[in-house]
């Protein structure tokens, strides 16, 4: 039994006319009459006395009419409640980001977004990379911001921006006096590095090994902020994304040097659950992030600016049951000048 049939029946009673009720519901008179006849057949009673003009309602019809009115009122109220929930959800977006992205990029983007959309509500939490993926997979957040983004069966990743990584040291370190720094200058130096379980540490180690460099890892931390504090007290040198140290370099508490014989970069990406439909607010945040991706290169981190501003460009379109697509690490050092290990 469909709600449309109940509404048509109630309209027939209210209008005392099949033709007027049919017109109100966009039906032919015969279709409206057939719907009411089907209700009578289902109930096994006559609801309307068609032998009289205007139409009259039987006692059974009166009981059914009152019940239908209550049902229709409850259904309309339910529709309104659902629309309010959707409307409320449209203005909310939740984001999980790794610490370094949140502190170096996301805050400025969110402020700009809220300046354009003051009615929106954006909730941001900072987590370790694995936890960001867990939150996206479990639908606890709409978007995730990670380094070395990867797609999986449940998660869709979009390349966002690429950050150059540089040598970071105390302003009083001897490397600050060199006109140019090469990979071999790091050989045997105390280094403050990332924890071994992090992807960025594995990529750095792979690059150093390829260049025949064996640094002395003095300290390991799981976040960039603590690594910077250790380098500031001259506990060692480090390799960090340039945007994450700009404030300290300007303040004179850290110094940075580009490694001249090879480039080291960190890719960043936006992830979401593959089967989730982004709200307009979440899509607007994605659009703004894309606009702030690699502006100097005129790129949008893998997205095509000519396409819809809310489009979500996946890193990989075909995925097996296991993780099969990983964003390019873009670590391409030229170690031809480095001594053989």
248-303 residue pLDDT tens = 999 999 999 999 888 889 999 999 999 888 888 889 899 988 887 754 443 333 33
Same domain membership, residue 252 and residue 168: yes
Residue 310 CA to chain centroid, in angstroms?
A: 12
Residue 339 lies in a domain: no
167 and 249 share a domain?
yes
At residue 215, does pLDDT exceed 70? yes
> Mean pLDDT throughout 11-27?
90
pLDDT at 126 over 60: yes
* pLDDT at residue 313 greater than cutoff 80: no
Q: Residue 167 domain-assigned?
A: yes
**Residue 304 domain flag:** yes
Q: Evaluate whether residue 337 is within a structural domain.
A: no
Residue at a domain's end among 265, 293, 308: 265
The pLDDT of residue 340 is: 29
Closest among 3, 13, 11 to 60, alpha carbons compared: 13
70 found inside a domain: yes
Q: Alpha-carbon distance 114 to 106, whole Å?
A: 12
Q: Specify the CATH number for the domain of residue 184.
A: 3.40.190.290
Residue 341 belongs to a domain: no
Shared domain for 42 and 112, answered yes or no, is no
Q: In the predicted model, what is the mean pLDDT of residues 42-51?
A: 90
Which domain covers residue 288, as residue numbers? 90-161+267-330
- Tell me: pLDDT of 223 over 80: yes
| Confidence bin at 187 (pLDDT 50/70/90) | very high
Q: Which helix (H) or strand (E) holds 164?
A: strand 155-169
| 142 shares a domain with 119 | yes
Q: Is residue 242 part of a domain?
A: yes
User: Which of 222, 247, 265 represents a domain boundary (last residue)?
Assistant: 265
**Cβ(203)–Cβ(331) below 8 Å:** yes
Within this chain, do residues 9 and 74 fall inside the same structural domain, yes or no?
A: yes
Q: Which residues lie across from 259 on neighbouring strands?
A: 181
Is the pTM here over 0.85, yes or no?
no
Instruction: Give the total number of structural domains in the chain.
Output: 3
Task: Give the CATH number, domain containing residue 27.
Answer: 1.10.10.10
Answer yes or no: do 296 and 152 share one domain.
yes
* Residue 148 pLDDT > 80: yes
């Amino acid at each position: 039994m469909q709600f449309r049939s109940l509404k048509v029946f109630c309209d027939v009673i209210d209008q005392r006319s099949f033709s007027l009720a049919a017109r109100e519901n966009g039906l032919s008179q015969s279709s409206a009459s057939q719907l009411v006849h089907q209700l009578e057949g289902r109930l096994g009673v006559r609801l309307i006395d068609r032998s009289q003009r205007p139409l009259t309602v039987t006692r059974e019809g009166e009981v059914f009419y009152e019940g239908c009115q209550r049902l229709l009122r409850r259904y309309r109220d339910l529709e309104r409640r659902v629309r309010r929930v959707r409307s409320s959800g449209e203005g909310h977006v939740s984001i999980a980001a790794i610490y370094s992205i949140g502190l170096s990029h996301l805050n400025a983007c969110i402020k700009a977004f809220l300046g354009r959309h003051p009615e929106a509500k954006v909730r941001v939490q900072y987590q370790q990379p694995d936890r960001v993926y867990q939150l996206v997979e479990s639908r606890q957040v709409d978007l995730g911001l990670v380094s070395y983004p990867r797609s999986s069966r449940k998660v869709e990743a979009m390349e966002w921006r690429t950050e150059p990584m540089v040598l970071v040291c105390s302003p009083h370190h001897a490397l600050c006096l060199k006109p140019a720094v090469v990979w071999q200058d790091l050989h045997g130096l105390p280094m403050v590095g990332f924890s071994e379980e992090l992807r960025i540490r594995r990529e750095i180690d792979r690059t150093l090994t390829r260049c025949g460099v064996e640094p002395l890892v003095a300290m390991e931390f799981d976040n960039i902020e603590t690594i910077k504090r250790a380098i500031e007290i001259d506990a060692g040198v480090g390799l960090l994304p340039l945007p994450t140290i700009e404030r300290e370099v300007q303040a004179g508490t850290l110094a940075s040097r580009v490694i001249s014989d090879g480039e080291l970069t960190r890719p960043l990406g936006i992830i979401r659950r593959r089967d989730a439909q982004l709200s307009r607010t979440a899509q607007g945040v994605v659009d703004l992030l894309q606009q702030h991706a690699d502006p100097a290169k005129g790129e949008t981190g893998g997205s095509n600016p000519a396409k819809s501003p809310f489009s979500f460009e996946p890193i990989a379109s075909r995925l097996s049951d296991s993780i099969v697509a990983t964003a390019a690490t873009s670590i391409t050092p030229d170690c031809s000048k480095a001594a053989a290990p």
